[in-house]
């Protein structure tokens, strides 16, 4: 294999040949350009791993022009400028324009070697990090969403398909399933990601104030309106507005939201001047909107405007294979907040999580994990440390130890499904190494081997990319 490919741009032939020879001895291949025009033509036609260009290139395009062309055609490629003595001010301007470094003349060979290698290493590390993030996101989640099972994979696929469009999306799901996280993922995957994401909980705003919150008001519009106020739709102009629990919105406000969807304009409360907005609407509800429409509690025309794309979110009890990854995510986030290592979950604790019905969904899981991590007296979180409510009732009772439970077939299948997914994830993360996997999840190596046999797992299960 050839080494990194470098473009040398230098109008002095002797320096150009010397640089080429130096880089060749370091294992690099190089292409030479004697002026800016030739360099720009090469950048448009070919791919390079590094550009080393003199700032002053005689007549024609300058080194700054070469820099701009490199960033336009190959934005990840590092560019280092060679500057004349006393021209450091111009070099700083070049770095502001995107150059990675500069080398003043006269330079020595060691300086060139160091700068080139440092920039290439930094670029390679950034590329590896990006690829790793992309792989993790593809395999386990999207943004703050996590899931490796078929239910969440379907959610991720839908997000990827509709994110780049401006279609209105209606997210359906029980409370606590992460509807706002889905809305944020839609925004972050779209062309609007650099603009505002504005979330509004329609159920949390009083009927009297909801229109002012959404559309703003003019000074004097009502008692207490002592100044003009910009509403949430106006604040989200160019971005995304997320209308959470839209099923709780009053009928009269529904009519105004329908107008925004149809005409892309509205008036502030107490105003008469139309305000145009470019905003993508994502809505969410846990209610049965079809039933609400039938009972004249929700406008049918708005319902169909919102339901251009429907995205159902599965409850946690239907995606138990994601419990390990979610639990580890919450423990990791708690570590960051507290500034100290979080206690790991023991085997019985994992089994207790798998048995629970999770009426509060992911929100309930987060609360249970965080409480146990802080209050557990031992070095790890045991089943008895998990305060799991019975069917979601306020009075939480500790989960019973695994041995004390007589599983039904359904419960046993659920636990096995959970354990299988958890162990497969752990084995894949440790490249199938049994010892490393056992250490990572806090099991004795022999116990892990026995569990693998009990679950009927094979090498090809964790080596598969499916």
Please say if the pLDDT value at position 306 is more than 50: yes
Cα→Cα distances 88→104, 105, 370, 385, Å = 7, 10, 53, 62
* SS3 call for 95: helix
State CA 221 to chain mean position distance: 41
Beta strands 275-276 and 169-172, pairing class: unpaired
Cα→Cα distances 127→59, 75, 77, 405, Å = 36, 12, 11, 49
Identify the band that residue 416 occupies on the pLDDT scale cut at 50, 70 and 90. low
* SS3 call for 88: helix
Average pLDDT over residues 406-426: 59
The answer for 231, left when phi > 0, alpha when psi is -120 to 50, beta otherwise, is: beta
Q: Which residues pair with 54 in a beta bridge?
A: 82
pLDDT reported for residue 466: 44
Neighbouring CB atoms inside 10 A of 12's CB total: 12
Question: Which has the closest alpha carbon to 368: 396, 400, 341?
Answer: 396
Average pLDDT over residues 285-311: 95
pLDDT 10s digits, 134-167: 554 454 456 678 877 788 888 989 999 999 899 9
pLDDT reported for residue 399: 35
pLDDT reported for residue 404: 32
Structural domains for the chain: 5-132 (3.40.50.2300), 143-314 (3.40.50.300), 318-463 (1.10.8.60)
pLDDT reported for residue 390: 60
Q: Which residues contact 212 (CB under 8 A, 6 or more apart)?
A: 221, 222, 225, 229, 231, 269
Identify the band that residue 2 occupies on the pLDDT scale cut at 50, 70 and 90. low
**What is the maximum alpha-carbon separation in the chain?**
86
Average pLDDT over residues 445-464: 76
How many residues are listed for the chain in this entry? 466
pLDDT reported for residue 413: 53
- The full DSSP string for 229-287 is B--HHHHTTTSEEEEETGGGS-HHHHHHHHHHHHHSEE--BT--S-EE---EEEEEESS
Residue 3 to residue 180: CA distance in whole angstroms = 46
pLDDT 10s digits, 330-378: 888 888 888 778 888 888 888 889 889 999 999 999 999 999 998 999 8
Q: Higher-confidence residue: 283 or 409?
A: 283
Please say if the pLDDT value at position 327 is more than 60: yes
Residue 213 to residue 151: CA distance in whole angstroms = 35
pLDDT reported for residue 464: 60
State CA 423 to chain mean position distance: 25
Q: Which of 163-177, 190-204, 449-463 has the lowest average pLDDT? A: 449-463
pTM, rounded to two decimals: 0.56
Two structure tokens written together for 226: 């002592």
Please say if the pLDDT value at position 195 is more than 60: yes
Q: Which of 41-45, 123-127, 179-183 has the lowest average pLDDT? A: 123-127
Identify the band that residue 67 occupies on the pLDDT scale cut at 50, 70 and 90. very high
Sheet holding 240-244, edge to edge: 197-201, 240-244, 280-285, 169-172, 309-312
């Amino acid at each position: 294999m050839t080494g990194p490919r470098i473009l040398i741009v230098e109008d002095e032939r002797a320096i150009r040949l010397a640089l080429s020879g130096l880089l060749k001895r370091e294992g690099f291949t190089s292409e030479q350009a004697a002026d800016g025009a030739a360099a720009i033509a090469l950048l448009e036609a070919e791919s390079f791993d590094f550009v080393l260009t003199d700032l002053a290139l005689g007549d024609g395009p300058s080194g700054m022009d070469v820099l701009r062309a490199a960033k336009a055609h190959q934005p990840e490629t590092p560019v280092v400028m060679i500057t004349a003595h006393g021209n450091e001010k111009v070099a700083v301007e070049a770095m502001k324009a995107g150059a990675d470094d500069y080398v003043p003349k006269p330079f020595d060979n060691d300086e060139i070697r160091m700068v080139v290698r440092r920039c290439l290493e930094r670029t390679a590390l950034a590329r590896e990090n990006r690829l790793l993030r992309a792989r993790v996101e593809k395999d386990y989640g999207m943004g703050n969403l996590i899931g490796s099972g078929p239910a969440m994979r379907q959610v991720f696929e839908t997000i990827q398909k509709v994110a780049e469009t401006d279609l209105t999306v209606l997210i359906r799901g029980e409370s606590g399933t992460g509807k706002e996280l889905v809305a944020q993922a839609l925004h972050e995957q779209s062309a609007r990601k650099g603009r505002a994401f504005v979330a509004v909980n329609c159920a949390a705003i009083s009927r009297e104030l909801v229109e002012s919150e959404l559309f703003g008001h003019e000074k004097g519009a009502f008692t207490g309106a002592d100044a003009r106020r910009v509403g949430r739709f106006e604040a989200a102009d160019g971005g995304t507005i997320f209308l959470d629990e839209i099923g709780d919105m009053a009928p009269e406000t529904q009519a105004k939201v329908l107008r925004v969807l149809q005409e892309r304009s509205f008036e502030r409360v107490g105003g008469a001047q139309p305000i145009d907005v470019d905003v993508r609407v994502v809505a969410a509800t846990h209610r049965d909107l079809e039933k609400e429409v039938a009972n004249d509690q929700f406008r049918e025309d708005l319902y169909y405007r919102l339901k251009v794309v429907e995205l159902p979110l599965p409850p946690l009890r239907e995606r138990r294979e994601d419990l390990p990854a979610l639990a580890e995510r919450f423990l990791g986030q708690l570590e960051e907040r507290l500034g100290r290592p979080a206690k790991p979950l023991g085997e019985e604790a994992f089994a207790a999580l798998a048995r629970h019905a999770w009426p509060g969904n992911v929100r309930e899981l987060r609360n249970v994990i965080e409480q146990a991590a802080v209050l557990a007296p031992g070095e790890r979180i045991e089943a008895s440390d998990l305060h799991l409510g019975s069917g979601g009732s306020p009075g939480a009772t500790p989960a019973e130890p695994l041995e004390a439970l007589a599983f039904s077939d359904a419960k046993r299948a659920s636990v096995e499904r959970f354990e299988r997914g958890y162990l497969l994830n752990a084995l894949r993360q440790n490249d199938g190494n049994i010892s490393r996997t056992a250490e990572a999840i806090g099991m004795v190596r022999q116990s892990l081997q026995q569990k693998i046999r009990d679950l009927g797992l094979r090498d090809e299960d964790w080596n598969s990319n499916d």
